[in-house]
Amino acid sequence: MTPRSQQQISVLVMSTLAFTVCFAVWMMFAVIGIPIKEQLDLNETQFGILIATPVLTGSLIRLPLGMWTDRFGGRIVFFALMLATVAPIWLMEYATAFWQFLAIGLFVGLAGGSFSVGIAYCARWFEKERQGMAMGVFGAGNSGAAVTKLIAPAIVVAYGWTMVPQVYAAAMLVTAILFWFFTYDDPAHKVPAHVTVRDQLAALKDPVVWKYCQYYSIVFGGYVALALWMTKYYVSEYGFDLTTAALLATAFSLPGGVLRAMGGWMSDKWGAHRVTWWVLWVSWICLFIMSYPNTDFTVKTVNGPVTYHIHLSPELFTALLFTVGVAFAFGKASVFKYISDEYPHNIGVISGIVGLVGGLGGFLLPIMFGALVDLTGIRSSAFMLMYGVVWVSLIWMYTTEVRKLDHLVKRKRPVGADILE
């Protein structure tokens, strides 16, 4: 019998590896979508739809996958999910029309649903005081987006974009086999048989769950959207080639995935509320600066007109992008720390709901990015939209959490404290 501690480590390591591969597959269009766009002569809106299509199914499947994880256990569900994506990934190289890419992309997108399986599977193997760390380590599999940006461009340049699906299909199959042989089941992690689907879906009536959905639509949905969009943004805005643009885009994707483990540790130490609050403020400030468009304006002075030029250099933009990636990494972990603290007995369902809504944000935002560029002609309009969504989250958090905490603190203060101060 393998000791419990070794089982915990094996489950966490293999689940993180599997999620990394799944996420790399999920983000595949961020790179191969650019040559496909040129091949099919797509506009910005169509490109947004192309790269977002896998995100749609990867989001919608999260709730049923979370429910099945609670019911049947994470090991069998995760293994079956990975096997189900191998054939669609392989078939991608044979697509020639826009609708074919969209149809196959829907099936490839199932890989994105792996998060709601793995997060519940891993969390249940650890004690409550270590769940934030465990979920953060697993969530570091988001770095699969960076893996795609580092590996896929080299494959595209050397062999053409059609080689990428072949490599990814083989990687998914090998990972699924390794996962099965190096993970474990624990019957105690499954919900009792008497718990019905209706009981599980009762969580949809909880307004607190929807608040966490809003937070996650930023820190995860925004992460997915920008991970898909940034390579194209660097190419269009700064004129970089595909390989350089993808490398620079990893300044967002890599910290946005790897540092999630640190966000889990921080949430265990200081609490989900405090970490999320600062994540939203840092993101709000950075996105405000990034949203300012390339501008020339003239001021009439006493010495005549003076023209000023405002434009973010690639270096400054990448530094801001990196900061947002770090903030989102911490935020993805802190939101799920909320969930593990408040919903320990049905974490699979709650993570499925929150993951679904967050993933839908990752589906809708790239399409809206493309539409805004087509409508306004301003590439930084993507960050204007993100800035507005973060602002909504800040207001919601202030009214439901910050003011409530302030009120509780004031009630606990002794009579006359204000006078003494």
Rounded distance, CA 179 to CA 175, Å? 6
> In the prediction, which pLDDT does 419 show?
39
- Residue 237 falls within a domain, yes or no? yes
Rounded distance, CA 120 to CA 222, Å? 22
- Residue 166 falls within a domain, yes or no? yes
Residue 60's CATH number: 1.20.1250.20
Rounded distance, CA 140 to CA 263, Å? 10
89: tokens are 């990934």
Question: What is the tally of structural domains in the chain?
Answer: 1
At 310, phi and psi to the nearest 5?
A: -115, 120
- Residue 192 falls within a domain, yes or no? no
Burial class (CB in 10 A: 0-12, 13-18, 19+), 302: exposed
Blockwise average pLDDT, block size 10, the chain, 421 residues:
79 94 91 92 90 88 84 90 95 92 93 87 82 81 84 92 95 96 79 64 79 88 87 90 88 78 83 90 95 87 86 92 92 84 76 82 88 90 93 89 62 46 41
> In the prediction, which pLDDT does 204 show?
73
Question: What letter would DSSP give residue 162?
Answer: T
Rounded distance, CA 179 to CA 112, Å? 17
- Residue 95 falls within a domain, yes or no? yes
At 191, phi and psi to the nearest 5?
A: -70, 150
Q: Helices then strands (H, E): number in the chain?
A: 21, 2
> In the prediction, which pLDDT does 107 show?
94
- Residue 420 falls within a domain, yes or no? no
> In the prediction, which pLDDT does 411 show?
53
For tokens 């990636």, the residue is: 325
- Residue 126 falls within a domain, yes or no? yes
Domain range for 95 is 7-187+199-410
- Residue 177 falls within a domain, yes or no? yes
Q: What's the one-letter identity of residue 42?
A: L
Rounded distance, CA 92 to CA 85, Å? 11
Contacts 24+ apart (CB under 8 A), 96-102: 97/40, 98/40, 98/42, 98/46, 98/50, 101/36, 101/40, 101/50, 101/53, 102/49, 102/50, 102/53
- Residue 96 falls within a domain, yes or no? yes
Burial class (CB in 10 A: 0-12, 13-18, 19+), 271: middle
Rounded distance, CA 63 to CA 59, Å? 8
Please answer whether residues 109 and 83 qualify as being in contact, where contact means their C-beta atoms are separated by less than 8 angstroms: no
Q: Indicate left, alpha or beta for 102 from its phi (over 0: left) and psi (-120 to 50: alpha).
A: alpha
